[in-house]
């Protein structure tokens, strides 16, 4: 579909409308409007998929403990295996590997990045996705395949949460404690605990008084709904079902719920952008013709396109590759320096408006009822929210059993009673409420404070990060030897987050392998190296705050109260991977403590650097 011409775009009117829609939704309580699925609401986070099994506590020793058995943890473990490390223990709160794909089994769950670049180690494990955008269950099984292929089930601790990590100087090991009474030792620890893991709920008055059935999408209750992620939810056939939330999850679940439920009420506060999905089965002839090394090449190509790097050809063309310049306002990467900044920003804004006009026009094309179509139109800039894609979502609102409830004027759903949802003074009687309300952003593991980490000299990691995380390359911190983190903090990011994790996993495995090969006493960045990295991040920081300040609220902009500026390496993932690669070719003296030399006993406090 062609974008409308820039000349036909009235930017002033669009800006005014965006401001109005933002102001309609902004709340003084910001992120405090939510409550975690913890404490009295802990049952919302209970694992519905695996029965709890008793086991004896561990009191032994392992070479490497990997906390988090999602793709990050699996990829780090696989790389360590390849490097010849045998003693690897994977630990996870879940009952199996898979991370986000273990938990998210809601109907319709799928990858929203092309599976040929998203699902890692396809060639290594001899796998090929059945569809361009694979189903969640296929991705979860692929995680299992990786664990089996690299023999990672040999020593796993599932249904286990680490509660305390304490460094023991002699014999240079971590003492690990868990909520299952374990107290064992590990020479190295790698954490890969995810960024969107803890389910969150709206803090609704009366939530505890609801007598019907209720659960969060990441803990789907198939015992109640019947059916499978493919649908046929027969338990809902005679039910009035409410789904709260229309983010990436809501978009995927609603079409199947609409098919199954007697009546479906979709409670929307801010509509998502819903662009073309264009999924299709994998063409066997195409797959057979792929040459060895094809997946790396495709992944690198996709990463480069999304990061705004010049490429000779687009191996992937989809909704992500079509909107690269627009993504730059939120995600790190190269910008087109050939244009003066003012002109570039204006071009981006026009391009953004054209894309959003097309997305709004698509609503009119697909939704029959005019009033419903108006409510489904997103009025904000493209990257204010996670972009959405679906060829079924909008059509679901044409069904007679589906009602869209606009909650924007009351800043969302306002309460619950014994048998209903409240929106202002209107009451919607329902039998079942499904929360598609997302996750606490960035709150997991160390950052949440749930995991106590005490390093050299009895220093707590959270205290040492009191003014923001302090790392070298996002991986390790001075004063915390042999503790390596994978994730989105102080690294570079991309929509294909598994690729980001794979590069990180390969890097930390290479560092550990080299440390072992050279008999290093420990892996720990010098205070100077850490400080240099923080300065680099500051110097290159791409300020997204002006863009975010104009966005409708959401987890990207701290519900309209803050921005994430400075958390990542702004030149982008391609530049970051190049930097890591060159660094690995060096002597790694910034992190390998060799021979008898020792890091200073006192922990230097370098200047405070906001991150």
Helix (H) or strand (E) holding 593: strand 592-593
Q: Interface with ligand NDP includes 377 (CB under 6 A)?
A: no
The pair of structure tokens assigned to 271 is 């509509």
Q: Which of 564, 565, 541, 566 is nearest to 554 (CA)?
A: 564
Q: Give the count of residues interacting with ligand NDP (CB under 6 A).
A: 27
Region binding ligand NDP by CB under 6 A among candidate stretches 37-45, 245-253, 341-349, 526-534: 245-253
Find out whether 102 and 78 touch, Cβ atoms under 8 Å.
no
DSSP letters for 233-271? -GGGTT-EEEEE--SHHHHHHHHHHHHH-SEEEEEESSP
Q: Interface with ligand NDP includes 22 (CB under 6 A)?
A: no
Nearer to ligand NDP, 18 or 150 (CB): 18
CB of 251 to ligand NDP, least distance (A): 7
Q: Interface with ligand NDP includes 111 (CB under 6 A)?
A: yes
Q: Interface with ligand NDP includes 77 (CB under 6 A)?
A: no
The pair of structure tokens assigned to 119 is 């699902």
Contacts (CB under 6 A) with ligand NDP, residues 442-471: none
DSSP letters for 118-160? HSTTHHHHT---SBSS-BHHHHHHHHHHHHHHTT-GGGEE-S-
CB of 284 to ligand NDP, least distance (A): 25
Nearer to ligand NDP, 225 or 249 (CB): 249
Distance CA 152, CA 461 (A): 29
Nearer to ligand NDP, 133 or 184 (CB): 133
Find out whether 275 and 359 touch, Cβ atoms under 8 Å.
yes
Q: Interface with ligand NDP includes 295 (CB under 6 A)?
A: no
Omega of the bond leading into 560 within 30 degrees of 0 (cis): no
Find out whether 486 and 190 touch, Cβ atoms under 8 Å.
yes
Nearer to ligand NDP, 386 or 594 (CB): 386
Q: Interface with ligand NDP includes 390 (CB under 6 A)?
A: no
Q: Interface with ligand NDP includes 120 (CB under 6 A)?
A: no
Distance, C-alpha 159 to centroid of its chain:
21
Find out whether 159 and 180 touch, Cβ atoms under 8 Å.
yes
Distance CA 609, CA 429 (A): 52
Region binding ligand NDP by CB under 6 A among candidate stretches 43-51, 232-240, 436-444, 575-583: 436-444
Contacts (CB under 6 A) with ligand NDP, residues 246-285: 246-250, 252, 267, 269-270
| Residue among 92, 112, 263, 590 that touches ligand NDP (CB under 6 A) | 112
The pair of structure tokens assigned to 292 is 């060895």
Nearer to ligand NDP, 92 or 112 (CB): 112
Nearer to ligand NDP, 200 or 470 (CB): 200
User: Is the C-alpha dihedral spanning 7, 11, 13, 18 positive or negative?
Assistant: positive
Nearer to ligand NDP, 25 or 456 (CB): 25
Contacts (CB under 6 A) with ligand NDP, residues 179-218: 196, 202
CB atoms within 10 A of CB 16: 11
Contacts (CB under 6 A) with ligand NDP, residues 391-430: 407, 412-413
CB of 66 to ligand NDP, least distance (A): 23
Q: Which of 168, 203, 204 is nearest to 189 (CA)?
A: 168
CB of 247 to ligand NDP, least distance (A): 3
Find out whether 70 and 192 touch, Cβ atoms under 8 Å.
yes
DSSP letters for 506-533? HHHHHHHHHHHHTT-SEE---HHHHHHH
Contacts (CB under 6 A) with ligand NDP, residues 521-560: 554-555
The pair of structure tokens assigned to 371 is 């009033």
Nearer to ligand NDP, 26 or 603 (CB): 26
CB of 467 to ligand NDP, least distance (A): 27
Question: Binding string, 47-76, against ligand NDP, x = CB under 6 A?
Answer: ------------------------------
Q: Interface with ligand NDP includes 319 (CB under 6 A)?
A: no
Q: Residue numbers of the site for ligand NDP (CB under 6 A)?
A: 25, 110-112, 196, 202, 244-250, 252, 267, 269-270, 386, 407, 412-413, 436-439, 554-555
């Amino acid at each position: 579909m062609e974008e409308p011409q820039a000349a036909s775009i009235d930017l002033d009117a669009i800006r005014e409308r965006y401001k109005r829609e933002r102001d309609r939704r902004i709340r003084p309580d910001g992120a405090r409007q939510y409550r975690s699925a913890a404490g009295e609401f802990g049952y919302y986070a209970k694992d519905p998929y695996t029965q709890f099994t008793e086991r004896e506590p561990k009191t032994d020793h392992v070479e490497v403990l990997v906390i988090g058995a999602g793709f990050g943890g699996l990829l780090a473990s696989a790389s360590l295996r390849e490097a010849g490390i045998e003693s690897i223990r994977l630990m996870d709160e879940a009952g199996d590997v898979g991370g986000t794909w273990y938990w998210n089994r809601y109907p319709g769950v799928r990858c929203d990045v092309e599976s040929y670049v998203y699902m890692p180690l396809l060639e290594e494990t001899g796998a090929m996705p059945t569809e361009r955008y694979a189903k969640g269950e296929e991705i979860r099984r692929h995680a299992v395949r990786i664990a089996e292929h690299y023999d990672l089930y040999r020593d796993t601790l599932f249904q286990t949460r680490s509660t305390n990590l304490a460094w023991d100087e002699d014999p240079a090991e971590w003492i690990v404690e868990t909520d299952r009474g374990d107290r064992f030792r590990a020479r190295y620890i790698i954490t890969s605990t995810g960024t969107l893991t803890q389910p969150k709920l709206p803090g609704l008055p009366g939530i505890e008084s609801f007598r019907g059935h209720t659960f969060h999408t990441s803990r789907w209750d198939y015992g109640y709904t019947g059916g499978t992620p493919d649908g046929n939810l027969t338990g809902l056939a005679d039910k009035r079902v409410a789904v709260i939330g229309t983010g990436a999850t809501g978009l995927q679940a609603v079409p199947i719920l609409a098919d199954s439920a007697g009546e479906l009420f979709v409670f929307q506060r801010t509509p998502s952008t819903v662009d073309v999905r264009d999924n299709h089965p994998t063409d066997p002839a195409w797959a057979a013709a792929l040459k060895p090394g094809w997946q790396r090449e495709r992944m690198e190509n996709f990463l480069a396109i999304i990061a705004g790097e010049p490429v000779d050809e687009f191996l992937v063309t989809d909704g992500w590759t079509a909107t690269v310049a627009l993504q730059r306002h939120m995600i790190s990467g190269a910008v087109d320096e050939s244009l003066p900044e003012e002109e570039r920003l204006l071009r981006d804004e026009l391009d953004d408006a054209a894309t959003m006009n097309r997305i709004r026009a698509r609503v009119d094309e697909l939704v029959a009822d005019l009033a419903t179509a108006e409510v489904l139109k997103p009025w904000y800039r493209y990257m204010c929210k996670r972009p959405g894609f679906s060829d079924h979502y909008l059509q679901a609102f044409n069904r007679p059993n589906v009602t869209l409830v606009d909650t924007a004027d009351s800043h969302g759903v306002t309460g619950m009673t014994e048998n209903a949802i409240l929106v202002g003074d209107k009451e919607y009687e329902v039998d079942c409420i499904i929360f598609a309300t997302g996750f606490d952003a960035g709150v997991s593991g160390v950052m949440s404070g749930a995991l106590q980490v005490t390093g050299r000299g009895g220093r707590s990691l959270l205290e040492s990060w009191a003014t923001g995380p302090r790392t070298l390359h996002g991986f390790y911190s001075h004063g915390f030897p042999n503790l390596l983190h994978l994730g989105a903090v102080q690294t570079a990011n991309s929509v294909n987050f598994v690729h980001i994790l794979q590069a990180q996993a390969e890097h930390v495995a290479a560092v550990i392998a080299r440390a072992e090969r050279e008999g290093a006493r420990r892996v720990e960045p010098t205070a100077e190296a850490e400080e240099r990295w923080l300065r680099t991040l500051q110097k290159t920081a791409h300020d997204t705050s002006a863009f975010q300040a104009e966005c409708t609220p959401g987890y990207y902009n701290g519900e309209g109260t803050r921005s994430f500026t400075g958390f990542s390496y702004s030149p982008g993932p391609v530049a970051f991977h190049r930097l890591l690669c060159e660094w690995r070719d060096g002597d790694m003296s910034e992190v390998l403590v060799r021979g008898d030399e020792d890091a200073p006993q006192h922990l230097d406090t370098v200047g405070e650097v906001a991150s």
